[in-house]
Amino acid sequence: MRQRAASSVAPLLSRADHHEPSVFIPESLLREARRQRRLPEGSVPPTCLLDPDGDVVRHLQATGRGARSPIWACYHTDLWETTICGEQIGVVGCAVGAPFAVLVAEELFASGCQLLVSITSAGQLDPDLELPCAILVDRAVRGEGTSSAYLPPATFAAGNTPLLDAVAAELRRSSLDTIRGATWTTDAPFRETQTAIDAARAAGLRAVEMEVAALYAFAQARSRPVVCFALVTNQMAQVDGDFEKGPDDGAHHALRLAAAATRGWRTLTDHRSLDQSQQEPT
């Protein structure tokens, strides 16, 4: 009996169905949410920002610079629309942790999102970092479970290199200081033991956060453009006065990063469209 039970759950523990379509899809969930909540059809802004700590959303509410979306049909969150540096951006707050972040990411792209940016608070691993600082994450150790539902086993989930290159170039043009590097994504922030921290440092990881590996796995599996930043704000509460993000809790800085990422992504897509048109026979 015990052997049969272990055998029956093995496909869930070691998945090999990554190319099989899901029965439950975000479009169906959103359809029913719109029906139940009597929401109109519509699209979210082309760029959407995941704001796990909720600082950007609170800033938009406090300053009156954002409006709650009337069409966002997610059961669990609100979406706030704003404009920064000429870019229209939708912001979803408090989607913290890999499963929640990817659930919202799936729903955003099903609702018309074209580029997803995540800016998550992170703990310092690299002792040479000056806090607070922003990392443009190029890959993350898969220390969570969500990525395994999207990709076969591997140590890292990596971002799209051409997209990250284009974003990095725009960040430089915009004089937005960032570091490019790797992070550790964990589902268990209160199990960051010294042994785990030492191993992460030895691997050259710069910070620890809770979403990036899952979002990059989703992006790769679904061929979606996703850019992740880690805003390194803390030493895991090992010092007094930790977790400071700067003016307005880093909200304006986060919006500027999202706007710059949008410009970089647009430059990349424009170049690809131009290259494709030049290759087409006349």
| Residue 63 Cα to chain centre, angstroms | 25
The long-range contacts involving 110-113, CB below 8 angstroms and separated by at least 24 positions, are 110/25, 110/26, 110/27, 110/30, 111/30, 111/43, 111/44, 111/71, 111/72, 111/73, 112/42, 112/43, 112/44, 112/46, 113/44, 113/45, 113/46, 113/47, 113/48
Using an 8 Å Cβ cutoff, are 91 and 51 in contact? yes
- Across the chain, how many H-helices and E-strands are there? 9, 10
Q: Per-residue confidence at 1, pLDDT binned at 50, 70, 90?
A: very low
The whole-angstrom separation of Cα 122 and Cα 211 is: 10
Q: Which stretch of DSSP H or E encloses residue 196?
A: helix 194-202
**Once rounded to an integer, what is the mean pLDDT over residues 130-139?**
97
For 171-194, write each residue's pLDDT tens digit. Answer: 999 999 999 999 999 999 999 999
Q: Which stretch of DSSP H or E encloses residue 83?
A: strand 79-84
Beta strands 87-93 and 47-51: pairing type?
A: parallel
Q: Could you tell me which residues come within 8 angstroms of residue 254 by beta carbon, excluding any fewer than 6 positions away? A: 49, 51, 55, 56, 119, 229, 231
**Once rounded to an integer, what is the mean pLDDT over residues 23-28?**
98
The whole-angstrom separation of Cα 214 and Cα 4 is: 31
Say how many Å lie between the first and final Cα of the chain, rounded.
68
Q: Could you tell me which residues come within 8 angstroms of residue 204 by beta carbon, excluding any fewer than 6 positions away? A: 181, 182
Beta strands 207-209 and 115-124: pairing type?
A: antiparallel
**Once rounded to an integer, what is the mean pLDDT over residues 76-81?**
98
| Residue 184 Cα to chain centre, angstroms | 14
How high is the pLDDT of residue 203? 97
**pLDDT of 240 higher than 80:** yes
Confidence (pTM): 0.94
Compute how many other C-beta atoms are within 10 angstroms of the C-beta atom of residue 168.
18
Q: Which residue has the higher pLDDT, 4 or 38?
A: 38
**Once rounded to an integer, what is the mean pLDDT over residues 69-97?**
97
Both tokens of 184, joined, read 């550790």
**Once rounded to an integer, what is the mean pLDDT over residues 70-87?**
97
Task: State yes or no: cis peptide before 132, omega within 30 of 0.
Answer: yes
Q: Per-residue confidence at 7, pLDDT binned at 50, 70, 90?
A: low
How high is the pLDDT of residue 273? 73
How high is the pLDDT of residue 9? 66
Residue 162's Cβ-side half-sphere holds a number of Cα atoms within 13 Å equal to 9
**Once rounded to an integer, what is the mean pLDDT over residues 69-83?**
98
Q: Quick one: residue 156, left, alpha or beta (phi over 0 = left, psi -120 to 50 = alpha)?
A: beta
Cα Rg for the chain, rounded, in angstroms? 19
